[in-house]
Amino acid sequence: MSKPTFCYFDNNATTCVAPEVLDTMLPFLKDDWGNPSSAYSFGNRLTRPLDRARSQVAELINADPREIIFTSCGTESINSAIHSALVTSPDRRHIITSSVEHSATLKFCTHLEKLGFVITRLPVNPDGEIDPALLHDAITPQTALVSIMLANNETGVIFPIAEIGAICRERGVPLHTDAVQAAGKIPIDVKALGVDFLSLSAHKLNAPKGVGALYIRRQTKYCPYLIGGGQERGRRGGTENVAGIVAFGCAASMARTRQPELALRLAGWRDQIEHSILSQIPGTSRNGSLANRLPNTSSISFEHLEAEGLLMLLDQAGICASSGSACTTGSNEPSHVLTAMGRMPKVARSSIRFSLGCYTTQAEVDHLITILPDLVSRLRAGCSANED
């Protein structure tokens, strides 16, 4: 079999738009481009496709469609949930999050800290896991919100949100979870998780960029983040991204259907990649707990090299991977997730994330594991030569 010319192992950064999703959205760009809020039928006939998409997204997480609002991205959903919790309980000025959240949560919290809010960032253990007992001790009468991700984008570690949800309910504190990476990879049930808010992003599950969703539990108080028109039943101003929303609905429905089979397939390839690297390349180690993790994500440290150099060689071979979150690439800062897990900055800077998706093929996996040992030795030989 000939080797593929383009191999994509960065599905946690973004995914391609599925052909079925593209077909579903195109009519809303070409012909049906009206404004859903218009009184005439060219506009208001869009209500039905929007409702359908809302049901499809709701179904992915076992929510009621009325509990879903569409946003412009995962980041907006996360910011909106945190903002709402603070505004609806103005006497509470404390937020609890984790030290390994996406920057959409962490940087927003740092911003709030500068405005005088108090932020607690729960630590993780060397396997990247959170101990719910720490949350128990961190909650105070001042706590307005707990925001902890469902699965980590760099290591794939899944957090015990149902257990965290039980603690939050007992203490009367609302809970938000960033489920952007978990969606489509593991089953999600908002009722079983016991969350008040849950964030999703379309472009991480084969729909286009520029659309997200926020689940708001029916009894949870909500204050809009974007204030304007009466869209989303007054919960999010701004004319609906009709094509994007319809695409998101289609992608959510596909993701739900294929999830069990996809998880098995991707876990098999992930294990093949990890086994091959760990057994054939000396000085490699895996980051993150094996017990509870996403089926598609693998984070590996390669001693005695800089991840940026290896990524460059991989790029020249047509292979896309990343050194962590796409949002922090280029900064040369070691990953905040790996440093929170206690990795030395040097080790964190030598780590690469491979993330698989629904279009990953056996040929791509074979190409990666065939070429990697040689690239690593070349790079290490160069590194030690430089050090002499």
Ligand X SMILES: *Cc1c(COP(=O)(O)O)cnc(C)c1O
Residues at the contact surface with ligand X, assessed by CB under 6 A: 12, 73-75, 102, 104, 149, 153, 178, 180-181, 201, 203-204, 212
Burial 119-135, CB ≥16 within 10 A → b, else e: bbbbebeebbbbebeeb
Indicate the residue among 74 and 132 with the shorter CB distance to ligand X: 74
Distance from C-alpha of 54 to C-alpha of 33, rounded to nearest angstrom: 19
Spatial contact of 71 and 212, defined as CB atoms under 8 Å apart: yes
Nearest 5°: the CA angle 144, 149, 153 is 150
One-letter amino acid at 91 equals D
- Could you say which of 73, 250, 327, 358 is catalytic? 327
Indicate the residue among 208 and 334 with the shorter CB distance to ligand X: 208
| Shortest Å distance, C-beta 211 to ligand X | 8
| Shortest Å distance, C-beta 126 to ligand X | 21
Q: Tell me, yes or no, if 7 is annotated catalytic.
A: no
On the 0-12 / 13-18 / 19+ scale of CB atoms within 10 A, 227 is exposed
For residue 144, the SS3 value is strand
Indicate the residue among 203 and 217 with the shorter CB distance to ligand X: 203
Query: Which residue has its beta carbon closest to ligand X?
Result: 74
- The pair phi, psi for residue 62, each rounded to 5°, is 55, 45
Of 92, 153, 159, 156, nearest to 123 by C-alpha is 159
> Whole-angstrom distance between the N-terminal and C-terminal Cα of the chain?
41
Indicate the residue among 155 and 360 with the shorter CB distance to ligand X: 155
| Shortest Å distance, C-beta 89 to ligand X | 24
| Shortest Å distance, C-beta 180 to ligand X | 4
Q: Which residues participate in catalysis according to the annotation?
A: 327
